[in-house]
Every structure is written in structure tokens, then in C-alpha cells.
Amino acid sequence: MEDKGFISFLAIRANASPDTIYATFDGEPITFADLHRTSDSVAVELRRLGVSKGDRVALMLSNSQNSLAALFAIAKCGAIWVPVNVQLRGDGLKYILEHCNPRIVFADRDFFPNILECGVDGSAFRLIAETGEAESLDRLADGCHVFSEDLPAADDLFALNYTSGTTGRPKAVCVTHRMLRYASEGAILCSDARDGDVFFVWEPLYHIGGAQLMPIPLLREVRLAMVQRFSASRFWDQVRECGATQIHYLGGVLQILLKQSQSARDRDHKVRVAWGGGCPRDIWRVFEERFGMPLRECYGMTESSSITTFNETGVLGSVGRSVPWLSVEVLDECGKPVPMGTSGEIVVRSRQEGAVFTGYFRNEEATSKALRSDGFHTGDLGMLDADGNLYFLGRLTDSVRVRGENVSAFEVEHVAGSHPLVEDCAMIGVNAEVGEQEIKLFLKPKAGADIDFVSFSGWLAQRLAPFQNPRYLAVIEEFERTPSQRIMKHRLPTSLEGSWDRLESAGQ
């Protein structure tokens, strides 16, 4: 019977074509035999270190050959991978390490101070460096051991993916081996992957956007071209050097690439498809025309195996239709389908076994709120057109109640972000003197721009309803972002000190 997970395919590929390249990392090749050997060795060493099936193993590592070996080793031995954002420190890092209670934490030695000083009980787990020690991860990978135990089943737990906490504490999504397989199959569909393709991988493996790419070479005749991190200035040179045919984007990546100076080499590449999520409608065609490739937008959440819908027809602004193993509905507050062209909550159901998660780790309240009898309630606002194409309209919870009206952050930010002097913006709610909330809008001006608040507010007033027009405006140099480049709104100050007040300016 075919494995509905992914890990058994590594041995199959390593035995059938040991010298075939699974991936390159900064240009250095990693063959299937290399990955199978090193992950086998780490899996055996994990057992020696006391890791049993179901134990958590946290990785606080940048992308590297060692992190790949560790990831596949965890999958082989039935442990549970806890990817940790390498930018975390303090209370946020402490929360994850205490919540998941790992037996072992592998980390780059540069991150040791963040771990040891975050307030977590360091005696609760074993901390192992990536390199440079007698029992560091690179040494464990070179042990030449053979892992001979039975591999985990498809529905065994593989990872705890802590969702980016844009409004509060992150939740740990329980991801099975089967779910990561679905995520990879979804990426294959969305990216139009074909035999011989090369995927350029800049995403950190601690984000589902990177993790979902790892099984793809096991499932198709494709190769990964991995780099340590995203670099706007080097992006296209790296893409050309590795011969990439697919590039992936998240968050503000497309805007960042468009900001680079135009070049005669903008179309000098082999990329067939740019795929991902978060492309603003107004730059969609601009990007396609400048760089000479179609964009294929997708939508999804880790809870529903990463990719729920994908746009293969090029309908502008749409995130497309559902993958074969999931179905999508848009429901009102009473749980009834809304008419076509009307917004409501996106609710996802599984068409095939195990495509939607079974819950959040150690969080029954959040699980019961998300998983209901009619499906997984995403908390996202969406709309379906007559052809069944889904349009993502923002987070349901990312709204402000102003004088009896719900104001979607997406609507305000979409308008404000189209102003010629604004590079990016973010809306939050702040306490109102009378009523529920007022809107505070943070603006990141374009380089060299100086925004006049009075004229800007007047410009907004021509494009937004009165209750949507922010009362408070503030300029910010840079937004703090999650690994997927979403703005961390819960870190934005609710204080009104230094903010421009529209009502005060008007003498009200």
C-alpha cells in the first residue's frame, strides 16, 4: 500500500538514484544518498539521546544541510518537530519552549544566549549546538549509522507549527505526516511543477512555506535550490545561477522585488511560474509584465495542510478554487452560505482523509472554536464569485468596531496603501473617548517621502466611508514582521502620544 505520508520515499529515491541531486544549498549539491545517510545517522543518535516516538525535538536553526538532516531524522524516528523562529527571544521564545516541552533543542550557537536568557528552565531539555562540539548536530549526522526501525504512519504527528501570532499568543497546529504530504501536493499543483523543474527556496524551514517544499523532490523529478535567506539585491542573480523555474513569494516579497531598480536583465531567467500568497491586486499585472512570468496566487492555512485554493486561470485578485482534497464555503454568522459576491467567513472541509488538522496542541479552547461540526472556521473573510473563485478579504478578527460599524483593516489598508507616498501601512483599534474604538493607522512612507497628514486624511476621506477614515495617524520607520512577512500588529503601540488626531486638527 502506498505511503500517504512522505518519509518512506527518501529511502526509495536514495536506493534507486543515490547520486541524483535532491537539493543544492548555496550551490553545494546534496544527493538523495547524502540526505538518507545523514538523517539515518541523526535518527539513531536521537534514540541514543533518549528521544522516543512522540517526544518533541525543537530546531532553532537557519536553513542548512544540518537542518535538513535533522528534519528528516525527526520524521524517520517518529519524534515531533518543533520549528522555532530564529528571530525569537524573550517571552515569545520562552512561551514556545515551555508550551511544547521538548526533550532536545538543536540550535545555532549564536542563538544560545537568546535561549538561556529568555527565562525558560534550561534543565528541562538538552541543548545541542549545530556545529563545533563533540556531540553537535553535524557530528551526529556524520555517524554513518543505519536507522532500521519501522517508519511512522501517515496520520502520526510530525510537527507542531506555531502560527504567527499577529494578535496574541501563537497556537501550535498539530501537523501529521499526511498533512505535510498534502501541503507538498498543493504546492506542486499551484506552481505547475513538471519533471526537471528547479524550485528556488529562500523561505526558512521553520515556516510552513519552506517546510512544504521539502518532500517535493521525493514525490516528483524536481530539485530544490536552497539559500540561507531572502536577499532582494541578490535574488535574481541567485535565481539565474541555479536555473530556477519556480519562485515562491509571501507577504511583501513582490513589492520588495518591484522596488529594485529596473534592469535589462529583468526577464533574463528561466522562471515559468511565480506562486504564493499575498499579492496586491494593483501590482499583479505590473509584476507579470516586468519580469515576464505568470503569478499563481494561492490561499491556505497550516491547519488545512497549507494550501486550500490556488489560481490556475489567472483571474485577477482571486486566490482560485479548492484543491481536490478540500472544499471551501463562505458562511454568514449563523453558519449559512452567503450569496455569490457577498463576504463571509471562509470555512474549509476535508474531502479526503486527514487533510484538516485535528486540533491545537494543549489548547482545547482554541480547537473547539476553530473546529466545528460544519468544518474548520478559518477566521478569514472571503467571497466567492459565480465561477467558484475565492477572494481573500482579510481577517475577520482584524477589524475595528467604530460607532456601531465593523471596519475591516483590509479595506482601509488597501486604500491607504495605494497612496503614491505610502510604502506600507497597518491599522489597529484604540480606545475611544465615546463609543467602542477609534482607528489608528501607521504609515511607512516611501523613501524620501514626507506625508502631510491633513492632505492625506482628506485624500482618504474621498475614498473611505466617514466611519472608516482613521482618526489617528502615525509614521513608523519599519514594521516588525512575522517570518511570512505579515505585520505583527499586536506589537504596534496603542498609545496616542505623538499621533496626529483628525478631530483635533479640525477643531472638534
pLDDT tens digits, residue range 274-283? 999 988 888 9
Which pLDDT band holds residue 251 (cuts at 50, 70, 90)?
Answer: low
Query: How far apart (Å, rounded) are the C-alpha atoms in residues 335 and 353?
Result: 23
pLDDT digits (tens, 9 = 90+) for 288-317: 999 999 999 999 999 999 999 999 999 999
Coil/strand/helix, residue 66: helix
Where exactly are the structural domains of the chain? 31-176, 399-505
Helix, strand, coil content of the chain in percent (nearest 5): 30, 25, 45
Residue 158 scores a pLDDT above 80: yes
Averaged confidence pLDDT in the chain: 93
Which pLDDT band holds residue 400 (cuts at 50, 70, 90)?
Answer: confident
pLDDT of 435 reads 63
Coil/strand/helix, residue 94: helix
Centre a 10 Å sphere on the Cβ of residue 58 and count the other Cβ atoms it contains: 26
Q: DSSP letters along 321-388, please?
A: EE-TTEEEEEE-TTS-BPPTT--EEEEEEESSTT-S---BTT-HHHHHHHEETTEEEEEEEEEE-TT-
Coil/strand/helix, residue 155: coil
471: left (phi over 0), alpha (psi -120 to 50) or beta: alpha
Query: How far apart (Å, rounded) are the C-alpha atoms in residues 13 and 5?
Result: 15
Q: Which fold has domain 31-176?
A: Rossmann fold (3.40.50)
Give φ, ψ of 494 to 5 degrees: -85, -5
Which CA distances in Å does 359 have to 169, 205, 300, 351, 365? Answer: 16, 22, 16, 18, 10
Length of the chain: 508
Global pTM value: 0.84
pLDDT of 2 reads 67
Which pLDDT band holds residue 434 (cuts at 50, 70, 90)?
Answer: low
What percent of the chain is predicted at pLDDT more than 90? 81
Query: How far apart (Å, rounded) are the C-alpha atoms in residues 198 and 23?
Result: 9
Which CA distances in Å does 197 have to 18, 109, 204? Answer: 19, 35, 20
Residue 398 scores a pLDDT above 50: yes
Residue 1 scores a pLDDT above 50: no
pLDDT digits (tens, 9 = 90+) for 24-53: 999 999 999 999 999 999 999 999 999 999
pLDDT of 181 reads 98
pLDDT digits (tens, 9 = 90+) for 471-487: 999 999 999 988 777 88
For the packed helices 32-48 and 8-16, what is the interaxial angle rounded to 10 degrees?
140
pLDDT digits (tens, 9 = 90+) for 102-154: 999 999 999 999 999 999 999 999 999 999 999 999 999 999 999 999 999 99
Pairing outcome for strands 223-226 and 21-25: parallel
Q: DSSP letters along 393-415, please?
A: EEESSSEEEETTEEEEHHHHHHH
Average pLDDT over residues 420-430: 94
Residue 90 scores a pLDDT above 90: no
pLDDT of 396 reads 78
H/E segment holding residue 166: none
Pairing outcome for strands 295-299 and 405-408: unpaired
What percent of the chain is predicted at pLDDT more than 70? 97
Average pLDDT over residues 397-416: 80
Centre a 10 Å sphere on the Cβ of residue 262 and count the other Cβ atoms it contains: 8
Query: How far apart (Å, rounded) are the C-alpha atoms in residues 211 and 85?
Result: 13
CATH architecture type of domain 399-505: 2-Layer Sandwich (3.30)
